[in-house]
Structures are given as C-alpha cells and as structure tokens.
C-alpha cells in the first residue's frame, strides 16, 4: 500500500484537518474487520442503512452506542453449555466490536433485529444555518461597513 503525504492539503485548505486525519487512519488500518459481515446502503439522498448479519445473537447480547461522530456496535455472547458434539461449526459464536465513523450531522434514528439481521437506520439532517444560501450583491441581507459621507471626506482633505 502506498502512503500519501497530505501536508500540501494543509497549505490551501482550512478546517479539513479531520478529513486528512481520517485518510491517515485508513491507510494505517491493515484490514477492515470481516466479522460480522455487514452492508452499508444509501437508501435516499440523506438516508443510510447498515445491515449486519448476526446469526445466533439475541437482542440482549447486543449494545449500540452513538457518540458524536462514532457509532459502536458490540456483541457479547452469553456463555452457553455445550449442547452436543459439533461435526462442523460454521456459525461463528465469538464476541465482536465494530465502529463506524459518522459524517457531520449524521445520526442514528432506529435499530431493528429481524431474522438474524441487525438493521440500523441513519439520516443526515443538516441544520438550517449550515445549508447553502444565496448572497445578494449590494442586497439588504448583508451588513455593510459604514463608509464616511462626503462632508467627512471634505473635512479630512482640508
């Protein structure tokens, strides 16, 4: 894997430190966790769904936590007595912890467990103050710096 230097980004971009940090973090991660398997879907323009295959897990063994820009899903299997001798064991029975970085203004709105699949619904809600707005040139929506009137200019010249 090639390493990239993001130092030139810092010279011309302001406030993108977090983005460059995420790129550096991604480069350092050797492999993404493969257990449990999951999908990330774009449902609509600002709606997402994470689906995790959690065969054998009960709702009580799962914990979902969302804090700022991090969504953490933890599965802790309760100890079960061996109920027989397995000739083949293909269904994983191990604990896991998986984290997802969330973009600004993305929040979890629901989580459902059905047929061994955990579905987590997310939405991006951009506050009104952060939405794009048109700026009128010489319009009323800008506070103009007060300029000296003509009589003040004439007094300064004299």
| pLDDT < 70 regions, the chain | 1-33, 80-83, 139-158
pLDDT, one tens digit per residue, over 62-95 is: 999 998 888 999 999 887 656 678 888 888 778 9
Among the residues of the chain, which ranges form H helices? 7-12, 17-28, 150-157
pLDDT at residue 21 in the model = 63
pLDDT at residue 118 in the model = 96
DSSP three-state, residue 14? coil
Give the domains, in start order, of the chain with CATH numbers: 1-30 (no CATH), 33-157 (2.60.40.790)
- Find out whether 149 and 139 touch, Cβ atoms under 8 Å: no
DSSP three-state, residue 42? strand
Cα separations in angstroms, 20 against 7, 17, 96, 103, 104: 9, 5, 28, 14, 15
pLDDT at residue 39 in the model = 93
- Find out whether 121 and 47 touch, Cβ atoms under 8 Å: yes
What dihedral angle (degrees, nearest 10) is formed by the CA atoms of 144, 149, 150, 155? -130
């Amino acid at each position: 894997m090639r390493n990239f230097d993001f130092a030139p980004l810092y010279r011309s971009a302001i406030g993108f430190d977090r983005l460059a940090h995420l790129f550096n973090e991604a480069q350092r991660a050797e492999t993404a966790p493969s257990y449990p398997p999951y999908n990330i879907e774009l449902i609509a323009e600002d709606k997402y769904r994470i689906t995790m295959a959690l065969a054998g897990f009960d709702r009580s063994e799962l914990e979902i936590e969302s804090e700022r820009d991090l969504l953490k899903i933890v599965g802790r299997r309760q100890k079960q007595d061996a109920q027989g001798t397995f000739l083949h064991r293909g269904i994983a029975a191990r604990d896991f912890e998986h984290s997802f970085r969330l973009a600004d203004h993305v929040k979890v709105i629901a989580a459902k467990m059905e047929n061994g699949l955990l579905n987590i619904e997310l939405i991006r809600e951009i506050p009104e103050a952060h939405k794009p707005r048109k700026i009128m040139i010489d319009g009323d929506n800008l506070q103009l710096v007060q300029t000296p009137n003509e009589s003040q200019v004439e007094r300064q010249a004299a």
